[in-house]
């Protein structure tokens, strides 16, 4: 009976270890893929709890969260520092379970953001997920010594150090460039007009009714049968009844307004909605995206000027789209002596389109052909031909690219650990062989 109980406990511990390890690795990884997205979600939390004064900590919190979660998951999966990691895992899950219960009840943010944009789940789904993880963390806490480990004590620290170096460098890469894996609706290959609409019959349906009153009694009528000829009925109000909620478009906030300045560029005369013009243009359209001109990095600003000149030479449209107020736009333009075609748009939408500030996106017929973080914007010397003859203007097979990148990341993570495991095995076997030889020598001496 005791042996059977040990087997059951061992199975429960290994299942719990795998569930916790895989979940934390995935959660930390998708946050590391998009550190800016995680920082924006943290800002949402600060705003929901009236802690906007702490928003400056959002990026630091994003990086720490992704690195710590990934490292905890990897240590759990590989059995590194089992005692301390299982304690930390339990503390984290107790706190997160309580927090997500509060979020599920009060609903201050739409989703917890625990899996970034890769997997969006509701606050209640997050709470139920955390209940499972809490149970698993209790099991590994109680029986941490039964967690299988891949490495001996001699190489623990090397494996642990490499895990931190890997996830740290990966996060830094995605901080400098656009995310290696793009889970947002504005990824390369996205058809924006299609994502902004819903198929006929699948959208929200409403019914308009006219409410009239007679002798103190209200009655609903349609536009076809309301009593327009009967003066005894008095019109009260018009109501809209939802027949079905239907599907919502993936993108519902993409709107661009072009600013028309006076001749001295000291005043905005009017604003023109050019959203459909941009999305329907059969030629290439460059959009320089900057949520805030004041907070924008100008390290690679000259490249955007080169892109604008290149666009003029080849009859492509180039717009600088920002959420900055018009007075800031005019001030920035004057200080930098730059006369871009400025447009305004929703700041949150711009942060979703591309993470760097500034960034560049290339459209053609409303399809995202390419996008670049500021550090990656093509330099002038590479823009020698029309886009139709350059790789920048060609559609990328994103599925094949994602597959290639995923393989490269997995190799970069697992191969050094497997090499370390091989060294660990050889070292352990050598130590065991030396111990056996020493025992044999001692027996010979006794004889």
Q: What string of pLDDT tens digits covers the 447 residues of the chain? A: 568 888 888 899 999 999 999 999 999 999 999 999 999 988 888 888 888 888 889 999 999 999 999 999 999 999 999 999 999 999 999 999 998 898 888 888 877 788 888 888 888 899 999 999 999 999 999 998 888 888 877 788 889 999 999 999 999 999 999 999 999 999 999 999 999 987 766 666 777 888 989 888 888 888 788 887 788 888 888 888 777 666 788 888 899 999 998 888 888 889 999 999 999 999 999 999 999 999 999 899 999 999 999 999 999 999 999 999 999 999 998 888 888 999 999 999 999 999 999 999 999 999 999 999 999 999 989 999 999 999 999 988 889 999 999 999 999 999 999 988 888 777 766 665 555 555 555 555 555
Give the tokens for residue 437: 């030889």
Please state the pTM of the whole predicted model.
Answer: 0.83
Q: Can you tell me the distance from the alpha carbon of 67 to that of 19, in angstroms, rounded to the nearest whole number? A: 18
Give the tokens for residue 277: 């013009």
pLDDT of 438 reads 57
In 153-279, which ranges are E strands? 205-214, 217-221, 234-244, 257-261, 268-273
Residue 40 Cα to chain centre, angstroms: 9
How far is the CA of 275 from the CAs of 53, 88, 284, 321, 440, in angstroms? 35, 50, 14, 12, 84
Q: In whole angstroms, how large is the CA radius of gyration of the chain? A: 30
Give the tokens for residue 6: 């040990």
Q: What is the largest CA-CA distance in the chain?
A: 124
For the CA atoms of 212, 217, 219, 223, the dihedral, rounded to the nearest 10 degrees, stands at -20
pLDDT of 203 reads 64
How far is the CA of 183 from the CAs of 177, 186, 321, in angstroms? 15, 8, 22
In which order are the strands placed within the sheet that holds 205-214? Answer: 217-221, 205-214, 234-244
């Amino acid at each position: 009976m005791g042996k059977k109980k040990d087997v059951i406990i061992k199975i429960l511990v290994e299942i719990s270890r795998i569930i916790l390890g895989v979940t934390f690795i995935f959660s930390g990884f998708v946050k590391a893929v998009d550190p800016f997205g995680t920082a924006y979600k943290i800002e949402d939390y600060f705003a929901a709890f009236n802690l906007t004064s702490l928003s400056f900590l959002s990026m630091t919190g994003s990086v720490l969260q992704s690195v710590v979660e990934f490292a905890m998951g990897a240590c759990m999966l590989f059995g590194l520092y089992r005692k301390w990691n299982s304690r930390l895992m339990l503390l984290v899950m107790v706190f997160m379970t309580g927090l997500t219960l509060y979020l599920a009840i009060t609903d201050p943010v739409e989703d917890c953001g625990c899996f970034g944009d890769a997997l969006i789940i509701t606050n209640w789904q997050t709470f139920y997920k955390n209940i499972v993880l809490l149970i698993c963390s209790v099991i590994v806490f109680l029986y941490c010594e039964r967690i299988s480990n891949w490495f001996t004590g001699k190489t623990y620290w090397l494996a642990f150090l490499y895990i931190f170096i890997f996830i740290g460098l990966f996060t830094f890469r995605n901080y400098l460039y656009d995310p290696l894996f793009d889970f947002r609706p504005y990824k390369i290959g996205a058809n924006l007009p299609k994502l902004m609409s819903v198929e006929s019959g699948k959208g929200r349906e409403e019914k308009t009714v006219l409410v009239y009153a007679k002798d103190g009694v209200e009655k609903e009528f349609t536009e076809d049968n309301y009593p327009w000829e009967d003066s005894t009925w008095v019109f009260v109000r018009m109501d809209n009844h939802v027949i079905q909620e239907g599907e919502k478009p993936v993108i519902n906030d993409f709107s661009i307004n072009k600013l028309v300045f006076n001749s001295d560029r000291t005043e905005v005369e009017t604003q023109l909605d050019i959203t459909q013009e941009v999305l329907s243009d059969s030629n290439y359209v460059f959009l320089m995206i900057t949520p805030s001109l004041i907070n924008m990095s100008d390290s690679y600003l000259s490249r955007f000027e080169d892109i604008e000149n290149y666009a003029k030479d080849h009859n492509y449209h180039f717009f600088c789209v920002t959420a900055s107020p018009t007075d800031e736009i005019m001030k920035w333009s004057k200080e930098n002596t730059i006369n871009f075609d400025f447009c305004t748009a929703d700041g949150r939408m711009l942060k979703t389109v591309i993470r760097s500030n500034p960034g560049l996106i290339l459209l053609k017929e409303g399809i995202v052909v390419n996008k670049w973080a500021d550090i990656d914007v093509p330099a002038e010397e590479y823009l020698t031909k029309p886009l139709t003859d350059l790789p920048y203007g060609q559609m990328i097979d994103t599925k094949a690219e994602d597959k290639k990148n995923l393989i490269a990341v997995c190799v970069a993570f697992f191969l050094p650990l497997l090499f370390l495991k091989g060294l660990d095995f050889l070292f352990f076997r050598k130590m065991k062989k030396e111990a056996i030889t020493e025992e044999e020598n001692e027996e010979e001496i006794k004889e």
